[in-house]
Amino acid sequence: MRIDIATLFPEICETYLGQSIVGRARNKGVFELYCHQIRDYAFDKHHRVDDTPYSERQGMLLMAEPIWQCFKAVTDGRRPRVVYMSPRGRVLNQQILKEFAEKGEDLFILCGHYEGVDQRVLEKMEAEEISIGDFVLTGGELPAMILADGVVRLLDGTLSQADCFIDESHYSGLLEYPQYTKPQVWEGMEVPEILTSGHHANILKWRREKSLEETYLKRPELLETAPLSDADRAYLSEIKAKYEDMPVFLDFQ
Ligand SMILES: C[S@@+](CC[C@H](N)C(=O)[O-])C[C@H]1O[C@@H](n2cnc3c(N)ncnc32)[C@H](O)[C@@H]1O
């Protein structure tokens, strides 16, 4: 997969996406990353990329032409999936990241700034809009890095074992069970005995039950859509009884 990010701050994206797990994946060739300075495609000698909006609105907008020139130069006839990071967009979640990773299409990610971007270039590039949540940041760089990081993490070759993410929160619709590392006793608190028993089947059962419990307590609405077995439902009834004094606004029966 090739990822191109068009931004006024390419160094920020380069630095973050060059580190740690994602940086190693890039070095191994799992994906290619190119961060582009939109200003390099400005058409005047001051490299101006913004202007005032045609409305009563205050603030500045990124102009269409420098972005369009950047897009044309970078894609050079290729047809990547074009994403504009935007608070107006579809809100990102793990299912969307999975879809991006499974399709494996090249990405051209546009980061807005100021009050946003001239609408016409979004239409011209046939951009889809993706939001990272119902709040507004000053620029699209953090959202772009979140999208790139989340997708790259799911590509073959990024994590050492594919199952690193299979049990994780949101991958299968539930939250992850609690995890522990050494030492076995810390500050008088012991790792749950079952995890040191070596009994694989019991450990798997414990993990599933803890996932169900975490989800019930922290994000009960996820249980409405998570795939649940009869055993899961039976265990959830036990949890419901255990926490009957706690207000949980859901009936998963
Ligand atoms: C101040 S915001 C512009 C907000 C825009 N005027 C609006 O109301 O939708 C500047 C840029 O930050 C990025 N941005 C801000 N919040 C975001 C979010 N929640 N998700 C994705 N991108 C966001 C977008 O690229 C946007 O163009």
pLDDT (tens digit, 9 = 90+) per residue, 148-200? 999 999 999 999 875 577 778 888 899 999 999 999 999 999 999 999 999 99
Domain range summary for the chain, segments of one domain joined by +:
2-152, 167-253
Distance 151 CA to ligand 1 centre (A): 20
Q: What is the pTM of this model?
A: 0.93
Q: Which two tokens stand for residue 112?
A: 């807005």
| 62-101 exposure pattern, b = at least 16 Cβ within 10 A, e = fewer | bbbebbbbbbeebbeeeebbbbbbbbebeebebeebbebb
Site to probe by mutation for ligand 1, drawn from 85, 109, 129 as the one with most ligand atoms within 8 Å of Cβ, is 85
* Stronger pLDDT, 106 or 244, i.e. the higher one: 106
pLDDT in tens, 11-48: 999 999 999 999 999 999 999 999 999 999 999 999 99
- DSSP-derived 3-state class of residue 169: coil
Q: Which helix (H) or strand (E) holds 240?
A: helix 230-242
pLDDT of residue 163: 55
Quick one: fold of 167-253?
Trp Operon Repressor; Chain A (1.10.1270)
The average pLDDT across 59-73 equals: 98
Residue in 186, 218, 191 with CA at minimum distance from that of residue 203: 191
Q: Which two tokens stand for residue 212?
A: 């169900």
Distance 142 CA to ligand 1 centre (A): 10
Give 248's pLDDT tier (boundaries 50, 70, 90).
low
Please give the mean pLDDT across all residues of the chain: 95
Give 251's pLDDT tier (boundaries 50, 70, 90).
low
The average pLDDT across 96-100 equals: 98
Q: If you take atom 12 of ligand 1, which residue's CA is the nearest one?
A: 139
- Of 50-59, 167-176, 197-206, 243-252, highest mean pLDDT: 197-206
Q: If you take atom 15 of ligand 1, which residue's CA is the nearest one?
A: 137
pLDDT of residue 252: 57
* Stronger pLDDT, 172 or 140, i.e. the higher one: 140
Judging by beta carbons within 10 Å of its beta carbon (0-12, 13-18, 19+), is residue 206 exposed, middle or buried? middle
Q: Which two tokens stand for residue 63?
A: 């102009």
Q: Is the pLDDT of residue 226 over 90?
A: yes
pLDDT of residue 98: 97
Distance 33 CA to ligand 1 centre (A): 22
pLDDT in tens, 176-187: 999 999 999 999
pLDDT of residue 130: 98
Q: Which two tokens stand for residue 221?
A: 């609405």
Could you tell me if 233 and 252 are in contact, meaning their C-beta atoms sit under 8 angstroms apart? yes
Distance 150 CA to ligand 1 centre (A): 19
pLDDT of residue 250: 59
Cα–Cα distance between 46 and 101 in angstroms, integer? 39
Torsion angle, alpha carbons of 233, 234, 238, 244, to 10: 40
Q: Tell me how many degrees the CA angle 5-20-33 measures, rounded to the nearest 5.
A: 20
Q: Is the pLDDT of residue 57 over 90?
A: no
Q: Is the pLDDT of residue 245 over 80?
A: no
Q: CATH code for 2-152?
A: 3.40.1280.10
Distance 116 CA to ligand 1 centre (A): 6
